[in-house]
Amino acid sequence: MAPPAVRSWGELQHDLLVAIMSRVGAPDLLSGGAPRTCSAWWAAARDPLAWRRVDLRDWTARTSARRAAGAGATRGSISVQAALTGDLEVAATRADGRMEAVLLPEFADEGHLMFLMRSPNLHYFSFPTTCMASDEFCEVISKLQSLKGMAVDESLVNYDVLLHVHQCCPDFLELKVFALYVDEDMASIICESLPRLKKLEIPNSDMSCAAIVKFLDCLEELEYLDISGYETSAISSSVLHKASRLKAFIWNSKFELGEFVDCSNCGEHNINTQEPCKCTMDNKVMDWLAGPSQTA
């Protein structure tokens, strides 16, 4: 029986190659790699449709250094910030006005975000940096009226900034926040300034029960809530009942289900109200070890 015919990767349809390239990742496309295999792959890597989503979260200076070396530049001839700007320019050129999402690395600065003003059709961006001034951020938002979602640091979560987003971006429905702690006040700011949110992500954050309830009660159009990544004891049966209306609720809990109370001594949550908190038992053990108190 004759062996099956072997076909070249270069014979794949262009649309399929473009789909593959869009999943390779911007850093790999920028550094060379797959696009150098053959002319068909080279063409697919430069198709604007492969650059609609530019994920630079894993970008490193080595990515740009390899390209610079190929162009004859020295390794230390440009700064990391300038190198990232250069790669953003390359991505924007190849996207040819079709760039819909840009995910920036943690060390990106205000200059990189302001670069996105050149892409008025942008639908989503991720900017985890903490060094952006509110007025400069609002200036960027004013130019991105097609924006549907964003991921930002908690330093940009204030009423004026989010209200500006709501006013400038009529289709804005998705928010992700990088925060260490979320209380009811921050939840109120989000709910009051962005009442039409459908998707909210605040992972790896210590969040109060009052904040979770505020989101569930006030964001009437909310469909997706992700507060995973932090083991919280604020997920009570009442919270789960309120969240049952959502299409997706992603969370982690220290306990399974049930109501919780706080210990008046240490503030820790106690899952069993019929038994004393562990700190109380520890204190009793230490008292017993110390022996009877000595009176003067």
Q: What is the pLDDT of residues 214-229, one digit of tens each?
A: 999 999 999 999 998 8
Q: Given a cut of 80, is residue 174 above it in pLDDT?
A: yes
Residue 4 banded pLDDT, cuts 50, 70, 90: low
Q: Which of 20-24, 34-38, 146-150, 209-213 has the lowest mean pLDDT?
A: 34-38
pLDDT mean over 129-135: 90
- Determine the 3-state secondary structure of 221 from DSSP: coil
Model confidence at 101, in pLDDT bands (50, 70, 90)? very high
Question: Cα-Cα-Cα-Cα dihedral of 256, 257, 263, 268, to 10°?
Answer: 40
Q: Cβ distance 100 to 52 under 8 Å? A: yes
Of these ranges, 33-37, 41-45, 91-95, 200-204, the one predicted with the greatest mean pLDDT is 200-204
pLDDT band at 6 (very low <50, low <70, confident <90, very high): low
What pLDDT digit, counting tens, does each position of 265-295 carry?
454 544 444 455 555 555 655 565 566 655 4
How far is residue 281's CA from residue 279's CA, in Å, rounded to a whole number? 5
Model confidence at 184: pLDDT above 90: yes
Parallel, antiparallel, or unpaired for β 149-153 and 124-127?
Answer: parallel
Q: Which residues of 223-262 are buried (b: 16+ CB within 10 A; e: fewer)?
A: ebbebbebebbbbbeebeebbeeeeebebebeeeeeebee
The model's pTM is: 0.77
**Tell me, what's the pLDDT at 222?**
97
Asked whether the predicted pLDDT for residue 166 surpasses 80, the reply is yes
